Amino acid sequence: MMLETQPASAPLQGEVTPPGDKSISHRALIFSCLAEGESRVTGLLQSEDVKATEKACVQLGMGVRRQGQTLFLQGVGSRGLSAPGAPLDMGNSGTAMRLLAGVLAAQPFDSVLFGDESLNQRPMTRIVKPLTLMGATIETGKNGTPPLRIAGTSALHGIDYESPIASAQVKSCVLLAGLYADGQTTVSEPLLSRDHTEQMLPAFGAELVGPCGVAGGTRLTAATVHVPADISSAAFFMVAATLVPGSELLLRNVGLNRTRDGIVQVLREMGADLTVHDLRRQGGEQVGDIRIRCARRLRGIDIPEEWVPSLIDEVPVIMALAAVSEGTTRIRGAAELRVKESDRLDVMAKGLRQLGVQLKEYEDGVDVTGGSVNGGRVDGAGDHRCAMSFAVLGQVASAAVAIEGAEHINTSFPSFVRDLAAVGGCVDER
């Protein structure tokens, strides 16, 4: 699938409620599956990635009933999972694979997890290592990539794991396995990654050990989860409204967890006109409405490395923003971007250069120097966030931008094209 943009001919205006948070949706499904009783989930993201988790949970025994916008999930209890009859397909989703691997490493039956072409190239050693330390037996493909062949065991032991990377997928994987282990399991990381697992576990009746730990044998009980709109999807609209002259958008019910809101800080520092209204708590999470108007002047900034985990998925759209801001934006400490759904630093760098943008690529980041952006043809490389970032930038390019490899926007934001067009954006699917 291809996207084609034209320079926006009028301001973007109106209200958008972006789709449900992807990270929270995966966790709501997995925790509900492991819980005793019926959980209730509203606002769940309906996208390919989340469907992969839902399908796997159903294969493991979870019951799903939909009533309007609410999902009723019948959990099987942590000891009640059934052996899946076939390998579990995680599609494009690293979160699905890494979190479910934590659960499956502790089951008395064998299982196999595989993914699509992109996921099958992503590193799994980062989870296999701590799970092996806990007593699990997992075989990977060569280079530590999927498929994962997990041998059944009921004898994991707790560990204090010092993760070498700030990764919520690693952290959550180890904590989920820790629910089944003997003794306590704790995780520390160099910088705090998104903490949705730690926020949601108590709602399912689990008491945390310290800031990031669980006691083995903890049982989960059914809960109600209201999934807020995904700040990572909202980010495309924040940047689009910031760039297109005269725009004003209201983004409703956006999750503003402090471990995720780096994009808000970056936009403010770069000169965006953004205000948060009606900040409130919804379940364990902070949410608010964001009003964002076109910026008068945008300036490049140095993004502190400590901010990177809180904006890790927003780096592609920040690179697009930097391409039309005065001066240079420097991003470092972002080597993780190279092992996402694509090598995002490379895919964005290639595409931006194609549109005439000046930049320098480093192993762990980029310097993007702002100027004007030409039309042209770019490759989204099957990466949803890169494709959407180019579509946003296309709104202020001097001519049409054709974006190839955009089919995977369905993994996180199936209504992106419709939603952007509905507020006045010029984008089409081909």
Residue 110 is among the residues annotated as catalytic for this protein: no
Report the alpha-carbon distance of residue 233 to residue 101 in Å, rounded: 26
Contact indicator for 374, 353 with CB cutoff of 8 Å: no
Interface stretch with ligand S3P, choices 61-69, 162-170, 276-284, 395-403 (CB under 6 A):
162-170
Site track 389-408 with ligand S3P (rule: CB under 6 A), x = hit: --------------------
Residue 289 or residue 383: which is nearer to ligand S3P going by CB? 383
277 membership: H or E segment, kind and range: strand 273-282
Contact indicator for 349, 331 with CB cutoff of 8 Å: no
Contact indicator for 380, 344 with CB cutoff of 8 Å: no
**Residue 90: CB minimum distance to ligand S3P, A:** 13
**Residue 26: CB minimum distance to ligand S3P, A:** 6
Q: Which residue is nearest to ligand S3P (CB)?
A: 23
Apex 362 CA angle, 361 and 365, nearest 5: 90
State the greatest distance between any 2 C-alpha atoms of the chain, in Å, as a whole number.
Answer: 62
Determine if 233 is a binding residue for ligand S3P (CB under 6 A). Answer: no
Q: Which of 49, 230, 313, 379 is catalytic?
A: 313
Site size toward ligand S3P (CB under 6 A) is 12
55-59: Cβ within 8 A, 24+ apart:
55/89, 56/84, 56/88, 56/89, 56/90, 56/96, 56/100, 57/29, 57/30, 57/32, 57/33, 59/84, 59/85, 59/86, 59/88
Interface stretch with ligand S3P, choices 82-90, 131-139, 163-171, 414-422 (CB under 6 A):
163-171
Determine if 168 is a binding residue for ligand S3P (CB under 6 A). Answer: yes
Report the alpha-carbon distance of residue 352 to residue 248 in Å, rounded: 26
Contact indicator for 94, 127 with CB cutoff of 8 Å: no
Among 167, 257, 329, 395, binds ligand S3P (CB under 6 A): 167
If phi over 0 gives left and psi between -120 and 50 gives alpha, with beta otherwise, what is residue 142?
Answer: beta
Report the alpha-carbon distance of residue 95 to residue 199 in Å, rounded: 17
Q: Strand, coil or helix: what is 244?
A: coil
**Residue 194: CB minimum distance to ligand S3P, A:** 6
Site track 90-129 with ligand S3P (rule: CB under 6 A), x = hit: -----x----------------------------------
Residue 226 or residue 344: which is nearer to ligand S3P going by CB? 344
Among 5, 23, 53, 78, binds ligand S3P (CB under 6 A): 23
Cis-peptide into 147, omega within 30 deg? yes
175 membership: H or E segment, kind and range: helix 168-178
Residue 23 or residue 286: which is nearer to ligand S3P going by CB? 23
Residue 232 or residue 247: which is nearer to ligand S3P going by CB? 232
Among 25, 39, 53, 169, binds ligand S3P (CB under 6 A): 169
Residue 165 or residue 400: which is nearer to ligand S3P going by CB? 165
**Residue 176: CB minimum distance to ligand S3P, A:** 11
Among 312, 321, 323, 386, binds ligand S3P (CB under 6 A): 312
Contact indicator for 169, 143 with CB cutoff of 8 Å: no
Determine if 311 is a binding residue for ligand S3P (CB under 6 A). Answer: no
Report the alpha-carbon distance of residue 288 to residue 257 in Å, rounded: 10
**Residue 118: CB minimum distance to ligand S3P, A:** 13
**Closest residue by Cα to residue 89 from 65, 61, 111, 122:** 111
Residue 247 or residue 286: which is nearer to ligand S3P going by CB? 286
**Residue 368: CB minimum distance to ligand S3P, A:** 20
Among 193, 247, 286, 310, binds ligand S3P (CB under 6 A): 193
Residues annotated as part of the active site: 313
Binding positions for ligand S3P, rule: CB under 6 A: 23, 26, 95, 167-169, 172, 193-194, 312-313, 336
